[in-house]
Structure 1
Amino acid sequence: MFWFMQGLCFLPVFLVIWSSSTFIISYIIALFRHDVDVIFPYISDTGDKPPESCIFGLMTFVSACAGIATIYARYKFVEKLNADSRMVNARLNKAALVFGLLSCLGMCVVATFQETVVTTVHDIGAILFFVSGVLYTILQSVISFQAYPFGSSISVCRARALIALLATLAFFPTFICGFFVKRDSLHRDEADQNYPLHVASAVCEWTAAFSFICFFLTYIEDFKLFTLQVRTEFQE
């Protein structure tokens, strides 16, 4: 049996590969069509105009579905560990599930409502995605330390904590600097006085997004340990 066929390992593997491809492919297409600048466009800029907006929307929806499946599987895994050890706060696990699902919802909103078309709804989706995503990584880091030594090694727990810290630190400049940046065009003028703020915001946005991807990368070893089953029951 191949390593990615063990347990539910394929879920985080697919999520990481597909999500990374979503960002990279839409960026390459937008760059090839000269819709964005080579250096430091926002992630949303790369999926604002067709045809990249169509590809970005479709691939992001698939990523959200994979994210929901992975987040739910992680929730059930922790729930099973907790049934045996009672080391993890059950409410903490449920809160992490809720924030994870809200983050996936925000991802769908961002992909559906383009930045320059429906800006307000797009921004709400982005805030929902990043805030919920950061809170999810923080809660899962806490859960990992509570569940130790069951499930994850101490090195994985520390890696999750570092990634959560990086995502948290990247979140604030993304929105604070982005608040002062005009978004009436996908091309930025380096002579504009707000250009440094745009660069800081865009870099932190990409950092936060790939921090989430790296966080799910740490699930691979855990997901080798279990499977989920669906049971059908007939109602009398």
Structure 2
Amino acid sequence: MWGYLSLLPVFLTLWAVAGVWTVFAISVANRTVNLTEGFPYISVCGSYPPQSCIFSQLLNVGAAMAAWICIVRYHQLRDWGVGKWPNQLILWTGLLCALGTSVVGNFQETNQHHVHLTGSFLAFIMGNVYFWLQLLLFWRMKSLPQPGGPWVWPLRLGLCCLCTILIVAMNVLNVQQLRSASALCEWAVAMLLFTLFGLFAIDFSGLDGCTLCLQSRPSRGPPPGPSLSPQPASPVSLQVRL
């Protein structure tokens, strides 16, 4: 049964795709970008008012949804038996991607260029790494569930490969001052990352809860009175519906 969690990745994808192209349309309509001079970067379209306000709100909301998806994914992988260290590595990579997305929206290229570039690095590079780490995890742990059938992993692999190639091409073309071609690569990378987030709807389709492990904190000092050996705290598992 598809719960609301399975709809969150789909909503994020639709929100992001519709939002960035709306910002593009507004920037072209009010002539803050000139298509006769070349195709603009996403950040250029969102650098000038009034679309800069829409751009900031769009990316902040999108970053919040992406962070929530990463957290839910962390709990799902943990319940599937993924170890703490690799799971936390994946989680923090995804959260850095979400943070970078928010930085890009709040620090426009025309105002804080270096901060904006840092946010772009986190959003694009860490976003790509986030999905590569999950592919590596599923490749090494064959016992993990594969929601959606055997076609999902090859699809994600193809999207990640294409995303990596386009990121490299984007930077090479930018160094060579081929800004329009570089901007087209940037738009394509953004669409691919949105699509990869949207594919989590398949993984979340059967998710109706997660397990929280609670453990009592040990006493800081011995209580007054007779010395008694404290009993070790035992974790308590609770099934929490999402």
The interval holding the TM-score normalised by the smaller chain is 0.7 to 0.9
1:169 aligns with 165
Q: Please provide the CA RMSD for this pair.
A: 2.3
> Per the alignment, do residues 46 and 148 of structure 1 end up closer, same or farther by CA in structure 2, a change over 3 Å counting?
farther
Q: TM-score, normalised by structure 2?
A: 0.80
For residues 90 and 156 of structure 2, the distance between their equivalents in structure 1, rounded to whole angstroms, comes to 14
2:232 aligns with none
Greater percentage in strand: 2
1:16–1:213 Cα contact (<8 Å) kept? yes
Residue identity opposite 2:160 in structure 1: A
Q: How many residues align?
A: 211
Is the counterpart of residue 16 in structure 1 residue 10 in structure 2?
no
Q: TM-score, normalised by structure 1?
A: 0.82
1:7–1:223 Cα contact (<8 Å) kept? no
User: Cα deviations across residues 24-52 of structure 1 (Å, max 9, x unaligned)?
Assistant: 11111111111113352101011000000
Residue identity opposite 1:117 in structure 2: N
1:93–1:143 Cα contact (<8 Å) kept? no
2:47–2:110 Cα contact (<8 Å) kept? yes
2:70 aligns with 71
For residues 199 and 6 of structure 1, the distance between their equivalents in structure 2, rounded to whole angstroms, comes to 41
Q: CA deviation at 1:176?
A: 2.8
In the TM superposition, what are the counterparts of 1:66-145 in structure 2 within 5 Å? Answer: 66-82=65-81, 88-145=82-139
SS of residue paired to 1:224:
coil
2:225 aligns with none
1:148–1:154 Cα contact (<8 Å) kept? no
Q: CA deviation at 1:7?
A: 5.5
In the TM superposition, what are the counterparts of 1:217-228 in structure 2 within 5 Å? Answer: 217-228=198-209
Q: CA deviation at 1:162?
A: 0.8
For residues 138 and 22 of structure 2, the distance between their equivalents in structure 1, rounded to whole angstroms, comes to 33
> Per the alignment, do residues 229 and 90 of structure 1 end up closer, same or farther by CA in structure 2, a change over 3 Å counting?
closer
Mark the structure with the bigger radius of gyration: 2
For residues 204 and 112 of structure 2, the distance between their equivalents in structure 1, rounded to whole angstroms, comes to 38
2:13–2:197 Cα contact (<8 Å) kept? yes
> Per the alignment, do residues 148 and 123 of structure 1 end up closer, same or farther by CA in structure 2, a change over 3 Å counting?
same
Query: Paired residue for 1:199, among 166, 180, 191?
Result: 180
> Per the alignment, do residues 143 and 7 of structure 1 end up closer, same or farther by CA in structure 2, a change over 3 Å counting?
farther
1:73–1:228 Cα contact (<8 Å) kept? no
SS of residue paired to 2:74:
helix
User: Cα deviations across residues 67-109 of structure 1 (Å, max 9, x unaligned)?
Assistant: 0011111111111111xxxxx4543222111111001111111
Task: State percent identity of aligned pairs.
Answer: 30
SS of residue paired to 1:8:
helix
Runs of 5+ consecutive residues of structure 1 not aligned to the other structure: 83-87, 181-193
For residues 187 and 172 of structure 2, the distance between their equivalents in structure 1, rounded to whole angstroms, comes to 15
> Per the alignment, do residues 81 and 230 of structure 1 end up closer, same or farther by CA in structure 2, a change over 3 Å counting?
closer
2:32 aligns with 35
2:75–2:211 Cα contact (<8 Å) kept? no
Greater shift in the superposed pair: 218-227 or 145-154? 145-154
Is the counterpart of residue 151 in structure 1 residue 150 in structure 2?
no
Greater shift in the superposed pair: 170-179 or 100-109? 170-179
Greater percentage in helix: 1
